[in-house]
Structure 1
Amino acid sequence: MYWIHRSCRFNVDDMSATHFTEKDTREPVASPDLPTEANRDRRLSAALWCAGLATFALMYAPQGLLTQIGHDAAVSAAQASLLVSAATLGLALSVLPWARFSDRVGRPTAMRYAAAIAGLLAVAVPWLPTFEALVAGRFVQGVALGGLPALAMTLLHEVAVPARTAVLAGSYVAATSLGGLGGRLLVVPVADHLGWRPALAILGVGLAILMAVLIVLLPAGQGQRSTVPSSGSLAVHLRDVRLLALFGIGALLVGGMVAVFNYLPFRLEAAPYHLAPTVVSLILLAYLAGTAGSRAAGWLVGRLGHRTVLVLACTFMAGGTVLSLDGSLILILLGLAAVTAGLFVGHAVASGMVGAHATTGRAQATALYNVSYYAGSSLFGWVGGIAWASGHWAGVAVLVLVLTMLALVLAVLPKTNPPR
């Protein structure tokens, strides 16, 4: 499923899997100085876990604080959501430049630059004095973060053993779900005691440490560089119906989930629930369903096929949205878990399919997927505010259902999936 030229040699940590003694008849012996392919994959997996955790914690941490920030800055729900949308928009606009930069210097080197800049901004941005400055700072954060998810899947397909790419891709997406959960969950109780600015700054220090670990764990050297002109690759990808459908699926599904997470706190902190922000943040533990779903995505694809899993992902999101319309907190929680699981299963499958299908210009293809994914997050996360203002939670639910049904249509198109 995930094809890589077996004849390519990658200079990763200057390593080879095994070496032979002088006589060919003797058993291969693992080099004491050079890591095996399994060790290399474990190190790569750990690096991508750091990338997923740090990127998504930093990007979505303000989501759990939108009600507090909106009250403190005297802005509406839709305006407060710009702190999330600005970061995802900056990321969406930066992934193609990061991909082009990585073609020149190599994926690991580009990711190191992105991690270093993002780590510094994580500590500095929370102290910007005005709401407008915060929105601008969040946009710049997104630009820096664009070099991590934009290149993670590409590096994975270029470096990892082909048979393990599906599992490692699911593991990376699981890390993104844990990062999104941790960012939201950790800052809220700290903000209740110290305020939202110190809470975001403390989180930023922890994420800067994760970025430093990522820099150490990434493969040494420049890695593989592309010899295909970027503009030519982009044109080819934008004419590929299968890739365009996958881009659309990612944008629609993540847009629906971000709308849910942006405005659910406004619902639960108002009548008839009147839940405290810390209690609302605990409801976000439903995000763990995304972790489990993304880890299971590769296994499901191997048994059910891409199309079936994508259809299931869309169905889970739609069903969860309908459940959330009920007034019961238990059903709202179950609905939230279904929405989250659906998004991360769909994202893991769609992003992995993009990397596998684009055998040339893979960095540009995965960058285009990330442009679509985060543009959808930014756009529909903000549109959810309009839906909330006009119809409260029912308006948000209708928006999510429409987005999910559109994704389902793209998932069942014949050219969305590779031939059996």
Structure 2
Amino acid sequence: MESEKSSHGANHHTNVACPFCGILCDDLEIGPSSEGLKVLKNGCVKSVAGFERKLVEPSPQVDGKDVSLDEAIAAAARLIRESHLPIFGGLATDVEGVRAIMALAEKGGGIVDHALSDAQYRNFKVLQTSGWVMTTLTEARNRADLFIIAGSDVHKLHPRFFERIVCNEASMFSDNPPKRTVVFLGEGLDQSAVKGNRIGEVLTLPVKTDRIGEVLDAMRALNKGATITGDNIGGLPRAAVEDLLERCKAASYGVVVWAPPSLSFANADLTVQAVSEFVKDINLTSRFAGLALGGNEGAVSAGAVCGWQSGFPLRVSFASGKPDYDSERYAMNRMLYAKESDLLLWLASFTPDLSPPDTDIPMILLGTPSIKPARTPKVYIPVGTPGIDHAGIMVRVDNVVSLPLRKLRNSTLPRAADVLEKIEAAL
């Protein structure tokens, strides 16, 4: 399916999906500029930085010296073949790229883990142990009248979330939708994007992020009629917590929003569990749901494909010849620190910001041309960006929609999937 083109010309694309955050906004307008591409409409800081990055097409390298693509592929295959336990990390690519790296890891007897999986596991652990009630971006956009932003700087991670999901004036189910209440539960959260006719009240409850779980657990207890003493709960005035509980009970459709990358403190999965259990309790008498964001750098696609292919989330080892799952043992960062691997293949095809870890083990780097690793990799193969240099598919952050990505410019940079398939064939 080709990108829609307007009357402005063949290089003017509308309804473009943006791969640079997990929301995958699909309403962008992209046109040509003197230096490449330009975001003409519905952009954000992430999309502008991604789409307007200048096209650079360096040569592959082995030990820092330019070589042909075939020579680099042969060198990469040799390193994997000689490795005792390779790690296939980063995984910042589209669905086909993850499928290819899974096949390579299986044949090469390695371990797969995404660069951002530490954050994802704050969710995975809760889903695995107790389950949850979740909504989608579309449901939240059209039905919610109460949003609670729990300890997450959503505007920084997903600059258009509020614009597209919270502040939209139209609804599929009403010509005159009710005003929305937005509660920021946390300290220092960017509220600048919460504006417009759809917004009613905006409340701020400045609780420390690592005490949000304490507040939600107290609200669960109060909701069940338990007695809680004291004038403060989790560092907040008791009256403010009781007021929030009443708002939740009165909402026709409430949504608690969090982004796991923002919950970067010890045992943060317990906060996610507190959110999930609170949502379950309120659902007994009203309609309430959670909405987990994040998923940047293709993290959601990586987790989804790993599940399809292996039956397990990320952190799967193929060293035994079959998939073996252990969320602690096969965590990439732990393994690198403990020097339990002798080779790292790092894949980062979206942004140059996802640099590989600074490790002294040999590395194969498949990355965007402007990526700057701390150390010279044994093999470097520049690859194209899905949604710019080639077409592809990505899974949206709510895990219910896969969106097509378009090829917007002519480039000689290869697809990561094609490079990985050639490495696998050379093993």
Same fold flag (TM > 0.5): no
When the two structures are superposed, what TM-score results if normalisation uses the length of structure 1?
0.24
Which is richer in strand? Answer: 2
Whichever of the two has the greater Rg, that structure is 2
When the two structures are superposed, what TM-score results if normalisation uses the length of structure 2?
0.23
